[in-house]
Amino acid sequence: MKKMRPLFVAWAALLSATAWGKESLLSDSRTSAPIWIIDEFVSDEGKVRYEGGISYGNYASDSTKGYTRANLQLTPTLAVPVVSGLDTEQRQTDQLVGMLGIRYGITENNEIGLRTTGSWSHTQTYSDTTGDLQREQRFSFSSLSANLSTRIYRGGSTSAFAFGSLGIADRLSMLPFRPKTVYLHSVTMGLSGYLIDDPVVMSLTASTTLKRPVDFEGKKYQLGTSFTVAPAISFLANDRVTLSSGLQFSYQIADRFAGRKLNLNESQIHMTLGVGYALNERISLYGNFLTKLSGTSGDNSAQLSFMYEN
């Protein structure tokens, strides 16, 4: 069974501001408002943050049967899996994946949160055999996850964070079986370190995502474990704008169905380009573009996100 690979790949290299960001920038007389360099890992104690985003991708396949799996990036180092089924001859799909989340700083160094995602897709399928052209639109719930971030070190010009995400509910689909909602399906764990040379921030993030087997009519479907290492750099262009760039090196173990491998183990390299803008002290926006540099699969994608601090 030949199959499509990820449309949206986690752009974990995109940089976030940590606590030093506000302190160093606010000490500069030229800065008129607090700045969030894309995102902060840990919310202030007792503070609530609301976030949302929308990601767009376009992909095509030719004489392909199987499925495609998407990873919507929710923070600089965490992505939520979005899975949709495919069974194509010649197919082109436009897909939007939306996200809403809430985050709360329980202590100075610890944050918890919830995120949910949904997807909309428009697909055109052309049959070489019959000449038929079919169009299909689909909207569905994708995932609900619980997230935790904790600052494990801060000193001088460096800081480090540990983070994790538990997939409370994921919507999975694999033809010819009916889609199903799977509970407690995935776990993501990682570490991220930062080195500051104001106004430049350099980061290195490493993460892994594990998924438990899913039963489809008595047969086990096992999504492969993934590993990611992502170096990045971010630059404060002025008191409101931040520019970011990074690389993402990922390795995906082959998926299995009924004990049989569905694909090869795959390695990929992606590049990310991002820009963040602080509208005011409470609201910030950021956009990101991801493009594949090497690997056997994956397409370009773009995302626009916001964060509001209450």
Encoding tokens for residue 26?
């606010």
Note the helical H segments in the chain.
Answer: 19-26
Angle, CA 243 vertex, CA 154 and CA 45 arms, to 5°: 35
Residue 13 pLDDT class (50, 70, 90 cuts) = very low
pLDDT at 127 over 80: no
Comparing 120 with 125, the larger pLDDT belongs to 120
Task: Give the C-alpha distances (Å, rounded to integers) separating 35 from 50, 56, 90, 264.
Answer: 17, 26, 46, 43
Report the mean per-residue pLDDT for the chain: 76
The string of pLDDT tens digits covering residues 254-273 is 988 888 888 888 898 989 99
Position 64 scores a pLDDT of 44
Percent of the chain's residues with pLDDT above 90: 24
Question: Are the CB atoms for 141 and 171 separated by under 8 Å?
Answer: yes
Lowest mean pLDDT among 25-29, 222-226, 271-275: 25-29
pLDDT at 5: 31
What per-residue confidence (pLDDT) applies to 29? 28
String of DSSP letters for 172-183: E--TTSPPEEEE
pLDDT digits (tens, 9 = 90+) for 72-115: 555 554 555 555 444 446 777 888 889 999 999 999 899 999 99
Instruction: Show the tokens assigned to 52.
Output: 């949302």
**What does DSSP assign to residue 295?**
S
Of the candidate ranges 6-20, 54-68, 72-86, 126-140, the one whose mean pLDDT is the lowest: 6-20
Structural domains of the chain ordered from first start: 19-309 (2.40.160.40)
Rounded-to-integer distance, Cα 53 and Cα 61, Å = 26
Q: How confident is the model at residue 69 (pLDDT cuts 50, 70, 90)?
A: low
Top pLDDT among 262 and 15 is at 262
Higher pLDDT residue, 230 or 28? 230
φ and ψ at residue 10, rounded to 5 degrees: -55, 125
- pLDDT value, residue 77: 46
The reported pTM is 0.73
